[in-house]
Amino acid sequence: MNLIVIGIGLIGGSFAKDVKKIHPDTQITGIDKSEEHLEEALQLGLIDQKGDYTSLATADMVFVSIPVNALVKELPKILDSVGDDTVVIDTGSTKELICAAVENHPNRRNYLACHPIAGTEFSGPSAAINGLYHGKTNIICEVEKTAFKLQERALELFQGMNMRIRYMNPSAHDKHIAYVSHLSHISSFMLGKTVIEKEKNERDIFDLAGSGFESTVRLAKSSPDMWTPIFEQNKENVVESLEEYIQNLETFKQLLLDNAYENVHQEMNNTNRIKQILKGIPLTKS
Amino acid sequence: MNLIVIGIGLIGGSFAKDVKKIHPDTQITGIDKSEEHLEEALQLGLIDQKGDYTSLATADMVFVSIPVNALVKELPKILDSVGDDTVVIDTGSTKELICAAVENHPNRRNYLACHPIAGTEFSGPSAAINGLYHGKTNIICEVEKTAFKLQERALELFQGMNMRIRYMNPSAHDKHIAYVSHLSHISSFMLGKTVIEKEKNERDIFDLAGSGFESTVRLAKSSPDMWTPIFEQNKENVVESLEEYIQNLETFKQLLLDNAYENVHQEMNNTNRIKQILKGIPLTKS
């Protein structure tokens, strides 16, 4: 297979590793705006050679893993350059604006809108790991708009990576994901900010913080370049989820101020259900 | 050594395991209000026999790992019953009220106020693990009020577990810990609540949530019985940290509403420093 990965960082690089494992004969071409990342990806053996958009016409598969603001700009150009038999897969954490950007593109049938729920808080080619996608959920939007033969090619590969496929429309995706992903990142970033502001002497944090704090702020290590455009594109849903989150925090604070400790206990007890809900979420080593 | 563990769950049970490893000859007696937990601890070999407060007089060391509201009530009774040569160690996540509760106790010299920053989101004897305390920080308060010889006995054991000792006064402890521990638990519980409320169909959460969400809500699995009294005893500091956290979330929300994405990027970029700050925090397998 002839695979082109556009944006050869954690997501694209890990995909390249898995494809090589499943189809060792795959020729992988890397495209990235950062010459440094391209060089690094070549050194690490994530790609076989560098390329550019002129290489797209002969590709069997194009895997696009770039920030969502770049996706909206580049995806139409990518579709301009692909061949009839090329399937283009993206990995954007938002779907509504991205699907809208190519809605009327003559080659819309070559595009499969995807969001694999996989990643770590690290980024760049060196962050690429084996098996990142194993057992993970892959949300596919507007599948009916993609040529059947091209769907098949992508799905076969996803099955080879043991991914769970879920079909959704773009607006439902963006709404759900605001809660289970985007909001977590904001709560984590702001928790980190609150503690850093308070603990001017960072030594104190290091000495007193335990694994619980580390786990809760883990996402605050994430890349602002990747996340700023996600929040921008999903602004409406993210703001809504933030308002509900803040409201719940306010309520909890008020219960403390009212010494309503039975309610405080109940609030936590009800939320303990998350144990059962989360059972089976595949954890990424990171 | 003759060790008595009062409250034989995750914290007490893991301590018992480590002591047995360092001093295999240690006789460990368990005391717990739950007959079921005591039985389980005996089955699991965490303790050698069951006991009661009459056993305290002859103990070399008493390790008290019970909820902080119980600590305030029981610690004076425990000190009533200990012998001259018994050192009593607690593990309360709050220190101000606990230290105040025994401030004028005739046996205050037998008590060493401790808070080992170690744990998992699980609880009960079956949650006890080996090496929970290895490399963790142990905050000791008002060390000058403990008999020197008894301090030594405790510190030798802590060193054997490779714990990092930090000395603090109770009010500084409660203030710092509100930020690096108590606030994380509330942010996690309320995140879990927000998502559960939104995703009435829990199947959706399970399908869409990734390891990032799992990590951020991990603490929402924690025990309400343990955490309600902690929030009650540290109410003032916890409310203050909550207010600052909510304010930071409001600011972030406003930046989104104002489309001030450069500031959004900067907020996250500044908080990325947490990477460096957190390096070296010992992670608990859980």
| Site of tokens 């090589």 | A20
Summarised one tens digit per residue, pLDDT across range B12-61 is 999 999 999 999 999 999 999 999 999 999 999 999 999 999 999 999 99
Give me the half-sphere count of Cα atoms (radius 13 Å) on the Cβ side of residue A72.
Answer: 14
Kindly provide the ipTM of the predicted complex, given to two decimals.
0.91
Write the CA distances from B149 to A227, B86, B87, B242, integer angstroms: 55, 10, 9, 41
For the record, the structure tokens of B73 come out as 């009530």
B-chain residue closest to A285, CA distance: B211
One domain for residues B165 and B215 = no
Whole-angstrom distance, CA of residue B132 vs CA of residue B11? 8
Residues of chain B with Cβ-Cβ distance to A137 below 8 Å are 207-208, 210
- Determine, yes or no, domain membership for A286: no
One domain for residues B53 and B161 = yes
One domain for residues A222 and A163 = no
Angle at the Cα of B132 from the Cα atoms of B127 and B137, rounded to 5 degrees: 135
B102 near B77, Cβ under 8 Å?
Answer: no
Summarised one tens digit per residue, pLDDT across range A38-82 is 999 999 999 999 999 999 999 999 999 999 999 999 999 999 999
B residues 132-191 closer than 8 Å to A (CB): 136-137, 139, 164, 166, 176-177, 179-181, 183-191
Would strands B87-90 and B164-168 be described as parallel, antiparallel, or unpaired? unpaired
Whole-angstrom distance, CA of residue B139 vs CA of residue B141? 7
One domain for residues B265 and B156 = no
Tell which phi-psi region holds residue A259, choosing left (phi > 0), alpha (psi between -120 and 50) or beta: left
Residues 6+ apart with CB under 8 A from A222: A121, A123, A185, A189, B268
Backbone angles phi, psi at B281, to 5 degrees: -70, 120
For the record, the structure tokens of B61 come out as 């060391």
Closest C-alpha to B120, from B264, B11, B239, B265:
B11
Q: Is B35 helix (H, G, I), strand (E, B) or coil?
A: helix
Mean pLDDT of the residues in chain B: 94
Summarised one tens digit per residue, pLDDT across range A242-286 is 999 999 999 999 999 999 999 999 999 999 988 888 775 554 433
Angle at the Cα of B172 from the Cα atoms of B107 and A200, rounded to 5 degrees: 160
For testing the chain A interface, which of B168, B202, B277 should be mutated: the one with the most A CBs within 10 Å? B277
| CATH number of the domain enclosing A141 | 3.40.50.720
Q: Is B140 helix (H, G, I), strand (E, B) or coil?
A: strand
Closest C-alpha to A216, from B94, B66, B281, B132:
B281
Domain end, chosen from B122, B139, B169, is at: B169
* Cα of A37 to nearest chain B Cα, Å: 20
| CATH number of the domain enclosing A237 | 1.10.3660.10
Domain end, chosen from B169, B185, B207, is at: B169
Summarised one tens digit per residue, pLDDT across range A83-128 is 999 999 999 999 999 999 999 999 999 999 999 999 888 889 999 9
Q: Is B67 helix (H, G, I), strand (E, B) or coil?
A: coil
- Considering only CB atoms, B118 lies closest to which of A199, A210, A284, namely A210
Contact between A268 and B204 using a beta-carbon 8 Å cutoff:
no
* Cα of A58 to nearest chain B Cα, Å: 34
Q: Is A40 helix (H, G, I), strand (E, B) or coil?
A: helix
* Cα of A84 to nearest chain B Cα, Å: 32
Write out the residue range of the structural domain in which residue B194 sits: 173-278
One domain for residues B158 and B190 = no
Whole-angstrom distance, CA of residue A115 vs CA of residue A129? 18
A123 near A226, Cβ under 8 Å?
Answer: yes
A-chain residue closest to B174, CA distance: A208
Residues of chain B with Cβ-Cβ distance to A206 below 8 Å are 277-281
One domain for residues A61 and A156 = yes
B28 near B54, Cβ under 8 Å?
Answer: no
One domain for residues A108 and A228 = no
Closest C-alpha to B52, from B71, B30, B68:
B30
Report the 10 Å Cβ neighbour count for B17: 19
E strand spans, A154-244 = 164-168
One domain for residues A20 and A141 = yes
Q: What is the pLDDT of residue A198?
A: 85
Mean pLDDT of B255-262: 98
Q: What is the pLDDT of residue A285?
A: 37
Share of chain B above pLDDT 70, in %: 96
Mean pLDDT of the residues in chain A: 94
B residues 19-58 closer than 8 Å to A (CB): none
Closest C-alpha to B245, from B182, B196, B201, B198:
B182
Closest C-alpha to B64, from B89, B31, B38:
B89
Domain count, chain B: 2
Q: What is the pLDDT of residue B276?
A: 82
| Site of tokens 């992508």 | A154
| Site of tokens 């002591």 | B19
Q: Please say if the pLDDT value at position B286 is more than 60.
A: no
Summarised one tens digit per residue, pLDDT across range B209-232 is 888 899 999 999 999 999 999 999
Domain end, chosen from B169, B202, B219, is at: B169
Whole-angstrom distance, CA of residue A133 vs CA of residue A119? 8
Whole-angstrom distance, CA of residue A18 vs CA of residue B51? 57
Q: What is the pLDDT of residue A275?
A: 86
